[in-house]
Amino acid sequence: MSLATKFPKNFKLATATAAYQIEGAKDLNGRGFSTWDAIRLEPGRILDNSDPDLSCDGLLKYKEDVALLAEIGVTNYRFSISWSRILPDGTLSTINEEGIKFYRDLCLLLKENNIEPVVTLFHFDMPLAIYDNGTAWLNRENCEHFEKFADLCFQKFGDLVKTWITYNEINCQAWGSIVKVEGEFWLCPERPEIENHKQAPYFGAANMLLTHAKIYRNYDQNYKPTQHGILGITNGGRFCFPATDSQEDIEACNRARDWLFNFTIEPILSGSGDFPVLMRERMPFIPKFSEEEKEIIKGSTDFIGINYYLSFLVRAPKDGEKASSQSQHDGGYVFVEGKWDKICGETWIRYAPDGLLKILRYVKEKYANTPVFITENGCMDIVGQDQEDAFHDQHRIDYISGHLEAVAKALDEGCNVIGYTVWTLMDNFEWDDGFELKFGLCEVDFESPDKTRTMKKSAYFYKEFIKEFKDFHGI
Cβ-contact 21, 112 below 8 angstroms:
no
| DSSP structure string for 101-138 | HHHHHHHHHHHHTT-EEEEEEESS--BHHHHTTTTGGG
User: Residue 367 half-sphere exposure, CB side, CA atoms within 13 Å?
Assistant: 26
Cβ-contact 170, 212 below 8 angstroms:
yes
Rounded to an integer, what distance in angstroms lies between the CA atom of residue 241 and that of residue 315? Answer: 9
Q: Which residues sit opposite 34 in a β-bridge?
A: 127
Cβ-contact 201, 175 below 8 angstroms:
yes
User: Residue 374 half-sphere exposure, CB side, CA atoms within 13 Å?
Assistant: 32
Cβ-contact 70, 115 below 8 angstroms:
yes
Pairing between β-strand 240-242 and β-strand 453-455 as defined by DSSP bridges: unpaired
- In three-state secondary structure terms, 287 is coil
Helix 394-412 / helix 457-473 crossing angle, nearest 10 deg = 30
**CA-to-CA separations, 253 to 177, 249, 362, 459, in angstroms, rounded:** 25, 6, 14, 36
Instruction: Give burial (CB, 10 Å; 0-12/13-18/19+) of 463.
Output: middle
Q: Determine whether 112 is an active site residue.
A: no
N- to C-terminal Cα separation, the chain: 18
Rounded to an integer, what distance in angstroms lies between the CA atom of residue 204 and that of residue 223? Answer: 27
The closest of 375, 301, 304 to 80, measured between CA atoms, is 375
- Choose, from 293, 376, 430, 443, the residue flagged as catalytic: 376
Instruction: Kindly state the DSSP code that residue 27 receives in the 8-state scheme.
Output: T
- Choose, from 169, 266, 430, 443, the residue flagged as catalytic: 169
Q: Determine whether 376 is an active site residue.
A: yes
Cα angle 199, 43, 143; round to 5 = 35
Cα angle 110, 125, 351; round to 5 = 75
| DSSP structure string for 411-466 | HHTT--EEEEEEE-SB----GGGTTSS---SEEE-TTSTT--EEE-HHHHHHHHHH
Q: Which run of H or of E encompasses 314?
A: strand 312-315
Catalytically active residues, by annotation: 169, 376
